[in-house]
Amino acid sequence: MASLKEVRIRITSVTSTQQITKAMKMVSAAKLRRAQDAIMQMRPYAAKMKEILENLSENLDSNAGGAYAKQRPVKKILIIAVTSNRGLCGGFNANIIRNVNLKLTNQYAAQVKEGNVKILAIGKKASDYFSKKPELFAGQYNSIYSDLRFDNISPIADEIMQEFAAGEYDKVEIVYNQFKNAAVQNVTTEQFLPIMPPTKDSGAKSKKINDYIYEPSKEEIVSDLIPKSLKITLYKTVLESHAGEHGARMTSMNKATDNAQEMLKALKLSYNKARQAAITGEILEIVGGAEALNG
């Protein structure tokens, strides 16, 4: 059995850790509310933008999307891995890294072997991991979380679109955590480029009365809307990840606080047992000494 001093030190340490985890939980809960409001406001806008594009593109030919809709044989690939800058959020970041690694070893094994797969990291955790693999690492954007605004995401999307249009990549995918609620974040992969043509199902769902006069033409409207839609898509995925990060951290810190409480109960029980054993030992010594004097 551990000594009283050792148990006291452990109780102090666990109590201190519990105070930290409780404070982090409260901070994440406050940040989650703001992040959740931001993504809930963005989702309808992004969905409406997609619906408008599908309605406009439905009767256009496959070239309506211009350079961003050009389908090429998939030889060169860019994967955008969206993680957080900080840890202590359970498996939030590990799930993204694991998913990307599975793509590298399974889905894109042939392209990796030829050196045609690059990974762009948004978030320090993805950057720290993939920067150790220079043959895969294409760069990082870790500072955007300090001021998460559309104006700061837009240049990133512009750069990716320019590289795709120039033929540096044939396919661009985004891997991120989609926010569902504070306890659940779903690892999601979305094709960013090339733009997928509207399917019959999606066209049927979003089909509305199309008896409009377009000024300028449909083609010009689509060509203007596509870059904006792509920027909004990237911004939305980062917002999803940002909200998911705070949800995951709040849940993780809540569990850590509960675990610390259980550990404190066990340590206090152990401390009381050790204290009782010490008192009993002292009593036995006194009784033994008294009997010796009487004898």
Q: Which long-range contacts (CB under 8 A, 24 or more apart) does 147-156 make?
A: 148/238, 148/239, 148/242, 150/231, 150/232, 150/235, 153/231, 153/234, 153/235, 153/238, 154/231, 154/235, 156/122, 156/234
In contact, 74 and 170? CB cutoff 8 Å: yes
Tokens at 69, concatenated: 């809709």
Residue among 64, 80, 89, 122 flagged as catalytic: 89
Token digits of residue 92: 């939030």
Confirm if 7 and 271 have CB atoms less than 8 A apart.
yes
Contact status, residue 231 vs residue 156, Cβ threshold 8 Å: no
**pTM recorded for the entire structure:** 0.85
Distance CA 249, CA 240 (A): 14
Task: Select the more confidently predicted residue: 81 or 60.
Answer: 81
Average pLDDT, the chain: 88
49 backbone dihedrals φ, ψ, rounded to 5°: -60, -45
pLDDT higher than 80, residue 90: yes
Summarised one tens digit per residue, pLDDT across range 212-224 is 677 777 778 778 8
Query: Rounded distance, CA 271 to CA 262, Å?
Result: 14
Q: What value does the mean pLDDT take over residues 21-49?
A: 92
253/291: higher pLDDT: 253
Indicate if 190 belongs to the active site. no
Q: Poorest-confidence range of 12-16, 160-164, 224-228?
A: 224-228
* Helix, coil or strand: residue 215: coil
pLDDT in tens, 123-145: 999 999 999 999 999 999 999 99
What does the alpha-carbon distance between residue 92 and residue 135 come to, in Å, rounded to a whole number?
25
pLDDT of 246 over the 80 cut = yes
Q: What does DSSP say about strands 137-141 and 171-181: parallel, antiparallel, or unpaired?
A: unpaired
Residues 6+ apart with CB under 8 A from 157: 227, 230, 231, 233, 234, 235
Q: Are 8 and 226 in contact (CB under 8 A)?
A: no
Cβ within 8 Å of residue 229, ≥6 positions away? 49, 50, 53
> What pLDDT, on the 0 to 100 scale, is given for residue 118?
96
CATH no., domain 22-253 = 3.40.1380.10
CA dihedral 178, 179, 182, 183 (to 10 degrees): -30
Domain boundaries, the chain: 22-253
The band of 200, judged by pLDDT with boundaries at 50, 70 and 90, is low
